Amino acid sequence: MHPTIRKARPKDRDELLRMRLALQRHDEASNPRIWHATEEGKQLMGATVDEMLSDDDGLALVAEDDGEPVGFAWGHATHRTDYTPRTVGFIRLIYLKEGHRRQGTGTRMVRELCKYFKAEGMEEVNLNYILGNTEGEGFWTGLGFRPVRVSANTTLEALEKRIETKAT
């Protein structure tokens, strides 16, 4: 039996926060170069969950198996005048607990977000994922997402050394 997909409710907050923290741990393990959440950052993730639950321009979903939340997704609709397309749906977060991945539940949650985006008049769907998260990369590219911008980093010390080497 497949997990059911439903709209997230305020009573889901604690479990959503646990899954949001698990997503952060998964991302950090997938790519050690990403920014790691400090204890303060982990505490502030509760505010992200609160935003997800109260987002008037968004939809938060929970995947539930036998009454137990096993995943979540959050999409947000934006309207803008400074770029085209003018209406863009952002898949802000999506997570499934281990043991519930690769069974179609993530795709079903994305399908529900697509219905929401269509009802809101979105022209495009955008998202971010962590390079090195092979499950995420495979899932998103399998749905037709292609990178259009890159975020890169290095330490200040390493950058200064490279600049110094180039200057000589």
Between strands 4-7 and 124-127, the pairing is unpaired
Using DSSP's 3-state secondary structure scheme, residue 55 falls into coil
* Burial label, 121 (beta-carbon count in 10 A; 0-12, 13-18, 19+): exposed
> Residue 78: which domain range?
4-167
- Write out the DSSP string of 9-40: -GGGHHHHHHHHHHHHHHHHHH-TTSPPP-HH
Q: What is the pLDDT of residue 166?
A: 85
Q: What is the pLDDT of residue 39?
A: 95
Please say if the pLDDT value at position 167 is more than 80: no
Using DSSP's 3-state secondary structure scheme, residue 50 falls into helix
- Write out the DSSP string of 93-148: EEEE-TTSSSSSHHHHHHHHHHHHHHHTT-SEEEE---TT-HHHHHHHHHTT----
Over residues 98-141, the pLDDT tens digits come to: 989 999 999 999 999 999 999 999 999 999 999 999 999 999 99
Measured distance CA(96)–CA(151) in Å, rounded: 25
Q: What is the pLDDT of residue 51?
A: 96
* Half-sphere CA count of 167, side-chain side, radius 13 A: 6
Over residues 48-107, the pLDDT tens digits come to: 999 999 999 999 999 999 999 999 999 999 999 999 999 999 999 999 999 899 999 999
Over residues 9-57, the pLDDT tens digits come to: 999 999 999 999 999 999 999 999 999 999 999 999 999 999 999 999 9
Instruction: Count how many domains the chain has.
Output: 1
- Is this prediction's pTM over 0.85? yes
Q: What is the pLDDT of residue 2?
A: 86
Identify whether the C-beta of residue 60 lies closer than 8 Å to the C-beta of residue 72. Answer: yes
What value does the mean pLDDT take over residues 136-150? Answer: 93
* Burial label, 22 (beta-carbon count in 10 A; 0-12, 13-18, 19+): middle
Question: What is the residue type of 74?
Answer: W
Q: What is the CATH number of the domain that holds 156?
A: 3.40.630.30
